[in-house]
Structure 1
């Protein structure tokens, strides 16, 4: 590929299904960026919960500073230490993948329960390998955190531009919750990226990402609408899977930054 592709945006999502954090740089690990989806919320039956069922989760905004995560919801704030967790291991699943997790602390679980409106607990994945995901395409097994399936999601700028040309109400890339946004020349050409390097990190493309109803949740308001999935399904439906962005894995640890070139 002779075109120049540049990293435009980097995001992490410390707690699964809560709002993300825009970063200028991030440290890539096998399970995903450092502090990306290392935490998630479980209900009283130890089942994970997401924006799919509870759109209000998009209105919880995390920030990381001085070894602590601060969550803001409306006019309320709560913080906890990145390193803290209780000692009792909990067995759960992320979709079909077995996962072993630890509750952060009782006060944090109560804060989320009070503001979401039902009993839940915040849990953390501690060890690399405490959740494994087998790719349906390659049959390879990856160590992942609490992302739906793969450690990283990459999207191209032209893919969003092409979609917005078809929408009456324009949207931002935040609807698709990417980790890496790359400037591209053509819509959806990121699907065909194979092996490439960004900054210090070699990446491998696994497969394009099938999207669900969650992309219809407006992250600014927490209101679920019919778009963009309705429009996207008209031209990106492949074998009953609506595709946008592509799932990738990192092959080594290292730093990537906004402004880095994608090197093939």
Structure 2
């Protein structure tokens, strides 16, 4: 079984709801990959900001180099240090989870405010334990990042291929914002993975991922489409949730690479 499943792509999304970065390798931690969704934009009332309401966020492209994150939006660019932040602790919510964060700096918040057209701040989660997420299914609590729920999303290649067979306009895996894409033999078999290892890291499957309207946002142009949610809802609707990909957690830290096999 393990020979079939090989890591094909790895992605991190440093700032929640902005574009992602394709990686050849990544350092897995309990909270998610290093630098994955450690930052988030919040509005004047410290409420999280996402592509669900502001599709233009998909047009902000981050890169990481020499300890800095640079953001490109159209012909504008801004950068800040990965480690910089102000001292004052802010209380924010990511859905039902409370989290402690800090603002990166005033200049960065002002830059995002100018280009999004409303007052906002860029905040950062500093340490493991600053946000906890409880799994009602497992009755366990996990230390997580600023991702919607769980630290990692894994998708098998056949799941996307099977969906694209049903779509007139084919889409890429970027619609679903995965962290790990693996080669697979059967559509949606990743739903039933238990525990497995990739490289140095052991992972545990938590549950299939319920999808929202955000997957209809075309990341290439920020336009809202009717697909793929319309088609997915016809064959992946379970208990009023449209499923695609699966949420996993890491049981230890370590590096995984594109080309690593999944060992079950």
Structure 2 alignment gaps of length 5 or more? none
Q: TM-score, normalised by structure 2?
A: 0.99
Aligned to 1:150: 150
Aligned to 2:4: 4
Aligned to 2:240: 240
Alpha-carbon distance, 1:4 to partner: 2.0
Alpha-carbon distance, 1:137 to partner: 1.0
2:119 is aligned with 1:140 = no
Retained in 2: the 8 A contact 1:3–1:185? no
- Residues 208-251 of structure 1 deviation map (CA, whole Å, 9 limit, x = unaligned): 00000000000000001100000000000000000000000000
Distance 2:191 2:137 in 1: 14
Aligned to 1:91: 91
Q: TM-score, normalised by structure 1?
A: 0.99
Superposition RMSD in Å: 0.6
Retained in 1: the 8 A contact 2:3–2:262? no
Aligned to 1:127: 127
Count of residues in correspondence between the two structures: 264
Retained in 2: the 8 A contact 1:25–1:257? yes
Determine helix, strand or coil for the equivalent of 1:11: strand
Structure 1 alignment gaps of length 5 or more? none
Distance 2:139 2:148 in 1: 16
Distance 1:3 1:233 in 2: 31
- Residues 116-174 of structure 1 deviation map (CA, whole Å, 9 limit, x = unaligned): 01000000000100000001211110000111000100000000000000000000000
2:120 is aligned with 1:113 = no
Alpha-carbon distance, 1:11 to partner: 0.1
Distance 1:69 1:86 in 2: 16
Distance 1:16 1:2 in 2: 32
Question: Which residues in structure 2 correspond to 1:5-20 (within 5 Å)?
Answer: 5-20=5-20
